[in-house]
Amino acid sequence: MPHSPLIRMFNARAHLTPDEEAALRSLPMQVRAIKAKQNVVREGDRPTRSFALLEGNACTYQNLDSGNRQIMAFHVPGDVPDLQSLHLSYLDHSVGTVGPCTVGFIDHADLQRICRDFPRIAAGLWRLTLIDACIFRAWISNLGARKADSRAAHLICETVVRMDAAGQVENGRLSWPVTQADLADALGISIVHVNRTLTQLRTAGLMTLQRGTLTVSDWPRLKDLGEFGSEYLHLSSDKDHSRPELN
Amino acid sequence: MPHSPLIRMFNARAHLTPDEEAALRSLPMQVRAIKAKQNVVREGDRPTRSFALLEGNACTYQNLDSGNRQIMAFHVPGDVPDLQSLHLSYLDHSVGTVGPCTVGFIDHADLQRICRDFPRIAAGLWRLTLIDACIFRAWISNLGARKADSRAAHLICETVVRMDAAGQVENGRLSWPVTQADLADALGISIVHVNRTLTQLRTAGLMTLQRGTLTVSDWPRLKDLGEFGSEYLHLSSDKDHSRPELN
DNA sequence: CGCACTCTTGACCGAGATCAACATTCGTGG
DNA sequence: CCACGAATGTTGATCTCGGTCAAGAGTGCG
């Protein structure tokens, strides 16, 4: 059961043979619960294992000398946020929990073994890191070329689609325990302006984000405002067609 | 000879056995010269080959619906900017030349073959894409958390270190034919403000960028302003120690 | 029940955008 | 080799989005 989010993540993007799925399920994994707002790994670490996020929400961030924190990714169940440490010893970023989480640690040795024995799993993991890179590029465009409201809308759209692929969305509603301070660090705007921007989106009837619950009320206009298209997430099922209730 | 930039790129980050180097050198590669400001691949393409940048400078960018262009990476000789297309059919970005370039196209079939026969080359290529992701993360921090002057300084520092690793820097001077409009699209600020920012850096005696030539005149202060540390580039040789003239 | 965290709103400020005009450089064909 | 038009770079004036400061209101946890 603990491996399910990982399997789901794979299956949303590639196709596993029964052999491969069995191999993944038999990966030794040390499962641990982690409280909200804790670091799982820290910039500068040289981990000997990676971890899969099994439940809850986490984020990847960097602390700058100037004291600012920049969040560069939010993670959904099934993600393996520090998979890169398998090939790059020096970790360039920290990963922290947003709300309470369950994570599963997997030794690099076991990952290496499964990659050797199942080349298609190795290719699949590579693929996952390439999709992460697509998401990073989308964030670069978001931060560099959009203004605050559009930027927020794009982030929210991305979150909804990814959380949906992870099976966390019901009736356009999902649990997303980010604070406005977190959003400020992710969007590169001040906390005060996050508040004003969210108020504006809510008043316009696009969505609400209150007490950790995100509700989308007008998906088409939200998509439009955020110039959002889901292709870059490389999910085989296009949300727009498979989940008409969000249209 | 055409394969040299590629070999150099590998050797700067990993170690190739003679066998592996020979295999890379024997990769069939279709070499072509491309004029400045041309696209090599376009967003939405589904390429059947990747290409290595052999000479010149290129950039990865996305065009947004709003008409803005966001540049998300500048490439140096040895880079394989669209390596991801080996595993992700849909290309989420375009790659265009900045100045005149020489590129070498390599069929995916040949890449797949060399990955199968030389697992360490496969791992090395994966590693290269992971390093690209590190660079994207650094850009996210740059765009989200720094102001214009610091942002420009960081980009310039990154460019100098990467171009140096590619053997393109002499006496803190290198050819970098970007226009101020290109920099505006990369830094997420207006052309006018790029001009003012560069003027400011030049007046402060940190660097000059004129007629396609970048000259660093005060590396420590430039690094400091850009909060730049080169670890995230994962170059085995730390520039600060190996190239004391830049200190 | 009380303290700390989070959210909200208002007033004011400033980095950078936009608009406009002009200068310089470069590439091209005559 | 020169002339000319287009691309690029420069500078000033004005405007605006979003930052900063400040104070109060919820909310939730120990």
B102 and B132 inside one domain:
yes
Q: What is the CATH number of the domain that holds B73?
A: 2.60.120.10
Give me the mean pLDDT over the A171-175 stretch: 94
Domain, as residue range, for A47: 4-136
The model's confidence at residue A191, banded by pLDDT at 50, 70 and 90, is very high
Among the three residues A136, A155, A173, which one is the final residue of a domain in this structure? A136
Determine contact: B147 vs chain A, CB below 8 A.
no
In a domain, B40, yes or no: yes
Determine contact: B141 vs chain A, CB below 8 A.
yes
Displacement of CA B175 from its chain's centroid (Å): 14
| Residue A246, pLDDT above cutoff 60 | no
Residue partners of A180: CB distance under 8 A and separation at least 6: A191, A194, A195, A198
A214 and A177 inside one domain:
yes
Displacement of CA A224 from its chain's centroid (Å): 21
B214 and B158 inside one domain:
yes
Alpha-carbon distance A15 to B125, whole Å?
Answer: 23
In a domain, A142, yes or no: no
In a domain, A60, yes or no: yes
Residue partners of B117: CB distance under 8 A and separation at least 6: B23
B122 and B184 inside one domain:
no
Q: Which of A87, A93, A141 sits opposite B70 (nearest CB)?
A: A141
A9 and A90 inside one domain:
yes
In a domain, A130, yes or no: yes
Q: Round to a whole number and report the distance in Å from the CA of B81 to the C1' of C19.
A: 37
Alpha-carbon distance A14 to A235, whole Å?
Answer: 9
Chain B residue whose CA is closest to A89: B234
Q: What is the CATH number of the domain that holds B155?
A: 1.10.10.10
A19 and A128 inside one domain:
yes
A12 and A116 inside one domain:
yes
pLDDT given for residue A121 in this prediction: 94
pLDDT given for residue A244 in this prediction: 43
List of long-range contacts for A67-72, beta carbons under 8 Å, 24+ apart = A68/A185, A68/B145, A68/B146, A69/A185, A69/B145, A70/A185, A70/A186, A70/A188, A70/B140, A70/B141, A70/B144, A70/B145, A71/A182, A71/A185, A71/A186, A72/A136, A72/A139, A72/A186, A72/B137, A72/B140, A72/B141, A72/B144
Provide the token pair at A163.
């959380």
Q: Which residues in chain B (166-225) have CB-CB distances under 8 A to chain A?
A: 186-188
Determine if strand C comes within 7 Å of the CB of A7. no
pLDDT given for residue B1 in this prediction: 64
Interface test with B, best of A50, A61, A92, A117 (most B CBs within 10 A): A92
In a domain, B172, yes or no: yes
pLDDT given for residue A247 in this prediction: 45
Nucleotides of C under 7 A from a protein CB: 5-11, 15-20, 25-26
pLDDT one-digit tens code per residue, A147-162 = 999 999 999 999 999 9
B31 and B127 inside one domain:
yes
Q: Do B87 and A137 touch (CB under 8 A)?
A: no
Residues of chain B with pLDDT under 50: 238-242, 244-245, 247
Alpha-carbon distance B9 to B80, whole Å?
Answer: 10
B166 and B69 inside one domain:
no
For chain A, the domain total comes to: 2
pLDDT given for residue A240 in this prediction: 47
Q: Which residues in chain A (34-93) have CB-CB distances under 8 A to chain B?
A: 60, 62, 64-66, 68-70, 72, 84, 87-88, 90, 92-93
pLDDT given for residue B239 in this prediction: 47
Among the three residues B136, B162, B188, which one is the final residue of a domain in this structure? B136
In a domain, B238, yes or no: yes
Determine if strand C comes within 7 Å of the CB of B181. no
A119 and A219 inside one domain:
no
A124 and A157 inside one domain:
no
Give me the mean pLDDT over the A197-201 stretch: 97
Q: Do B66 and A136 touch (CB under 8 A)?
A: no
Which residues does chain B have within 8 Å of residue A188's beta carbon, measured at their own beta carbons?
Answer: 143-145
pLDDT given for residue B10 in this prediction: 85
The structure's pTM equals 0.95
B9 and B130 inside one domain:
yes
pLDDT given for residue A38 in this prediction: 95
| Residue A165, pLDDT above cutoff 90 | yes
Among the three residues A136, A170, A205, which one is the final residue of a domain in this structure? A136
